[in-house]
Amino acid sequence: MFLFLFFIISVINSQDCLGGELRSKESFTYGRFEVRMKSAQGNGYVSSFFTYHDFWSTSYNGDWQNYINEIDIEFTGNLDHSIQFTTHHPGPWSQTQILPLNYNPHQEYHDYAFEWTPNSVKWFVNNVEIYNQNQSIVDDLVYPQKIMMNLWSAIYQDWVGEWNPETMPVNSFYDYVKYYAYTEGSGNYGTDNNFTLLWEDHFNAMNENRWEEATHGFDGNYCQFDPLNVLFHNGKMILFATDSQYILGDVNNDMALNITDVVILINYILSDTEERDSWQIINEDILSIKC
């Protein structure tokens, strides 16, 4: 089966890197959205958990500005003790807040959530509310939104710092995602017990009925999203940012596929270490998926 390794080459495209994005197939209106994650560190990188109205997949008569709805939790790799919350609105316009954390989110797993109702959006860190936007801000957030997670490199240096492509590969880790429906007056969780758990995903494997990998890019992003940069490993969903000319299987980064790479892969497959260098994880898991 190892012979297949030598024929797996990543897609080379006009952008400078490949990123990863996982998005839900279903869209949701209101609810509590939870994640346990660890973000990517380094200037230029953005790790996220958010909801987004996918108006591109619907009929919007070209007037896309009137259909923008998005709620964000974001981490920029240049800041070691902060988190960013944003809503994006028709117009377009946005409301954002960057708040301090007493730990480095790039080095530790923590729980994050937001509650979206007709009256407010509230954000939580480790189940403690730390920021909210009231109805006067969020009353135009009315469209169904997909759950999304992505890792990419932004061009905006004043926001994320100056990106150095030589820092790739980098990765962000996601332990689980939970979705609670908004059930005002009849729930059992969240603010005033107004939410009811509908499902949770602990990423033991790709749930193709729930999720799909993205294949697009967008303005302001150095990366093109590639399904190969979304992997599942030891109960984690891992997103990668890699060079667009990265050769899958070249685990020792010598730009050649040979028996040395196979030996290294076998040794790591037989090991039981959860946290490895990102290039080791991506090559091992692609091998196990493709063979």
Q: Which residues are catalytic?
A: 70, 74
* 70 HSE (CA, 13 A, CB side): 25
Residues 118, 141: Cα–Cα separation, whole Å: 8
Could you write out the three-class secondary structure of 227-272? HHHEEEECCEEEEEEEECCCCCCCCCCCCCCCHHHHHHHHHHHHCC
Residues 107, 219: Cα–Cα separation, whole Å: 29
Question: Which one-letter amino acid corresponds to residue 275?
Answer: E
Question: Which one-letter amino acid corresponds to residue 87?
Answer: T
How many Cβ atoms are within 10 Å of 222's Cβ, its own excluded? 20
Residues 6, 254: Cα–Cα separation, whole Å: 14
Residues 291, 273: Cα–Cα separation, whole Å: 21
